A and B are shown apart, each in its own frame.
Chain A
Amino acid sequence: MKRHSVERSGTIIVLSAFVLAMLSIIAALCMNSAYVALAKSEMRLASDASAKAASITYGMTGDIAAARLRARQICQRHSVAGAPLQIRNIDVYFGHASQNADGTYTFTENAQPTNSTRVHTSFVRRTGSVAALPALGQFLGRTEFELEEDSIATRVDNDICLVVDRSGSMAWDLTNELYSYPAELHGKSIIQNYFLPPHATGSRWAALKDSVNSFLTILDANPYQPRVSLVSYSSNFDFGDFHSDVSTIDQPLTIDFNSIRTKMTEIGTRPVIGNTNIAAGLRDGITTLSSQGTSRPHATHNIVLLTDGVMTQGDDPVALAAVALSQNIKVHTITFSAHADQELMLEVATAGGGNHYHAPDAATLTSIFTELAETLPAMLVQ
């Protein structure tokens, strides 16, 4: 019996050693898995931020070298598994990503028009190269690990419709006084001024024309080629030789922005007459952005609706803005002048899923159009 008990002493140690080894392996696997998952998230973040930086910089400058540099800088800001992640210029690709029927995107390198950037990241380019597993690597048969990620940032195609007010008040000056005409027209008969073209520099129309020009200039420099259409509205009006249609599609969607500048100039060479039928202009705006052939189905669609006054006729623009939103068309509104119905236009923008801006003066109007032109969104698609 004594001999027997001596043989069994130490069994706890043996059993414990076995259980300890098993537990250690399980703990090491858990720890390594969690560590690799964390490193993968860090890498995804660095990769996504880098691709987005390249896309935004390219959108702003059109300069591939500058976009690559910015992507590298942003990438290096991020640490992965304890060391900064680096990429090379050749890890940043430019091309075109098109949307598939299932909603995913396919990236084609060097395809035109350029709307996407792809960034490839790898531990090979990470400072310190591959990363060590934190626990029992040798015991598990692997002491280090490698990760690779690809991120694609796509600048979504943009179709924009400018819906501008050409009612009689657009010929007034910028003093915010009713029926006040600029420069040499000031003080003359209102009736006489009403049937004259808006003043070339001092009228609200002239300020709008300058703002639209700034807007188009920024879009001109945008390598992602947005398309813009122009709709103008007032009301049906006939008086002798003077005629006004309630709303006209002056320019369907185009990438030739000079044609829009020309149309704005042409409108300004005739008397701007009639009342304010906002819904009519909005309806034509929706038409230009939903017409097959010119409107791109996968583009984002935005209407920029401007008025300097109060709706005097037509149906409810708020309900129409909701219809636009249901067709994936966002409606942004701008009120220009102190007499504009800001409350209504805020409602229109809210119903249309867009933003409302108010411009009390010409400088603010230009800054609003500038902001709108510069804020075309970049989107990560992978």
Chain B
Amino acid sequence: MASQNTDLKPRKGAATVELAFVLPVFVALIFGSIEVNQRLHTKQSALISAYESCRVATRPISDTDDVVTHCQTLLTQQNVQGATIQVRNMTQSRNDLVDVATGDEIRVRITVSWAANTVSNYVVGNQGNFVVQAFMLRE
């Protein structure tokens, strides 16, 4: 029995050391995977919001408030936090839909903070903001 105990010690130590080496790799892989996929998902959600809002912006009777409200609703429904919305009439170089004319190019731009939309940023880190935008012509 005594010799058995003596023999076990080196094996236990080796396992601990081995685990100490691989555990950070496991943690980095799991958290990295979660963070990257969460960011891709957030960007996808913001992109869909920009697209749908831009379609609202192209309607003949929509004004700036309609577009912003619609966009905010979509972002909330998709749990996107910390977003700023800009509606711009590119043709007339103004940040609203006042006096917008048929055929004017409208841009809906959403700027989203990465940090506000992730459960962790241990691996990928805080990457500031990302921007999604949609361009369409006014009907």
Q: Which residues of A contact B (CB under 8 A)?
A: 1-2, 4-6, 8-13, 16-17, 19-20, 23-24, 27, 30-31, 34-35, 37-38, 41-42, 44-45, 48-49, 52-53, 56-57, 60, 70, 74, 77-78, 355, 371, 374-378
Contacts and interface: CB of A to CB of B under 8 A. Distances in A.
A1 B8 CA distance: 9
Nearest to B32: A27
B89 interface: no
B119 interface: no
Interface string B27-45: 0011011001100110110
B102 A77 contact: no
Contacts of B127: none
Contacts, number: 117
B60 interface: yes
A35 B134 CA distance: 19
B112 interface: no
Q: Binding site of B, secondary structure by majority: helix, strand, loop or mixed?
A: helix
B40 A374 contact: no
Q: Which of B51, B59, B135 has the largest number of chain A CB atoms within 10 A?
A: B135
B47 interface: yes
A37 B45 CA distance: 11
Contacts of B51: 41, 44-45, 48
A41 B8 contact: no
Contacts of B25: 16, 20
Given A30-B37, A52-B58, A45 B134 contact: yes
B26 A78 contact: no
Contact of A31 (B7, B8, B10, B33): B33
Contacts of A377: 59-60, 139
Contacts of A31: 33, 36-37, 40
Contact of B136 (A10, A12, A49, A355): A49
B29 A57 contact: no
Interface stretch (B12-20, B64-72, B77-85): B12-20
The 5 closest A-B pairs by CB, nearest first: A375-B60, A12-B18, A16-B22, A27-B33, A34-B40
A34 B18 contact: no
A2 B102 CA distance: 86
B47 A42 contact: yes
A344 B103 CA distance: 33
6 contacts: A12-B18, A27-B33, A31-B37, A34-B41, A41-B44, A48-B51
Given A9-B14, A38-B43, A57-B103, A4 B135 contact: no
B37 A34 contact: yes
Contacts of A10: 14, 18
